[in-house]
Structure 1
């Protein structure tokens, strides 16, 4: 076993224990759910038993996670640096999400467009949470103020745009697969208030 394999092995064992504790489950409870003996589970968590693929699959299922997430290697890049687009008044921090979803943190300084022709529509759904400041969501004919700690959810088939009001705002946006594709396809015609994820 290489050092890297040993580190991953240790990480997987720590994850199993941490997920069990986070659920508030005893060794016995998780062992019952995973159909292994408590002593086997204890030896797995403590590194005294070899990790077998079939047991990892069963444990992942019992812990309501996937095998991929259970054995995922520690990411090298923990710190995410923002990309800055000064011309459009945007600072964005791309954040990893589940397959099919895209999560983007963005800092906006520009208001939404005045021209209704600049609103965009495409298939999908979008969710957003305002982390700081005040955002303005243009949704069809509506103008909606979204304050710090408020969230909004809407189908992206409604013409929409988002921007800042009264100073910079930071927004965490979550796009489903269709909404993400819609923003990526429209990147060339992108308005200043709603960047592609």
Structure 2
């Protein structure tokens, strides 16, 4: 018997973990992936090498993809670390690792500075921005308007109107959804 690589050990644990989470016995999974229960047992416990065709069949039977079954696991997959932009008074946590449909990204942002209209902070970019206030009060400068968005409220607006947002009377936290242009504009320096 050869020593498993870290990826092989991870895959074996995932197969066993997914099978048990589904409440399936070795016989149940074996029937779904057209293997014998003894072959499946040897795959899960390590004495048998896992062939690519077996992995494909196992992934399909378990309702996952081959990529998800073999993707490496490391600390970066779990921990979301904040990025600080002290000049702009922002700390951002990107909550979506990969852009979603239409390039949308989700971020939590802590705002500590107010909007300064005279500093050229108001920006324009194609698309729409959306955010909800988790704590504090956010000032949304939208064209000539100044709008206070309180905890529990949300804002959604065209980003073709000059806009910026900042904290009002102390720190505020928002959860925002940004398209690629919004991400570049509002999270620059963060990602």
TM range (shorter): 0.5 to 0.7
Pair 108,41 (structure 1): closer, same or farther in 2 beyond 3 Å: farther
- Whether 1:195 aligns to 2:187 is yes
Tell me, in whole angstroms, the C-alpha distance in 2 between the residues paired with 1:32 and 1:129. Answer: 48
After TM superposition, the structure 1 = structure 2 runs for residues 1-197 of structure 1, keeping only pairs within 5 Å, are: 6-22=5-21, 24-27=22-25, 28-77=27-76, 79-95=79-95, 97-98=97-98, 100=100, 102-111=105-114, 118=122, 120-123=124-127, 128=131, 130-135=133-138, 143=147, 145=149, 147=151, 159=161, 161-175=164-178, 179-184=179-184, 187=185, 194-196=186-188
Q: Runs of 5+ in structure 2 lacking a partner?
A: none
TM-score (structure 1 length as normaliser): 0.63
- Tell me how many residue pairs correspond in the alignment: 181
How far is 1:169 from its partner?
A: 2.7
CA RMSD of aligned residues (A): 4.0
Would you say the 8 A contact 1:30–1:62 is kept in 2?
yes
Question: Could you tell me the TM-score, scaled by structure 2's length?
Answer: 0.64
Structure of higher CA gyration radius: 2
1:48-88 per-position Cα deviation (integer Å, ceiling 9, x unaligned): 33212122223333334332222122225455543222221
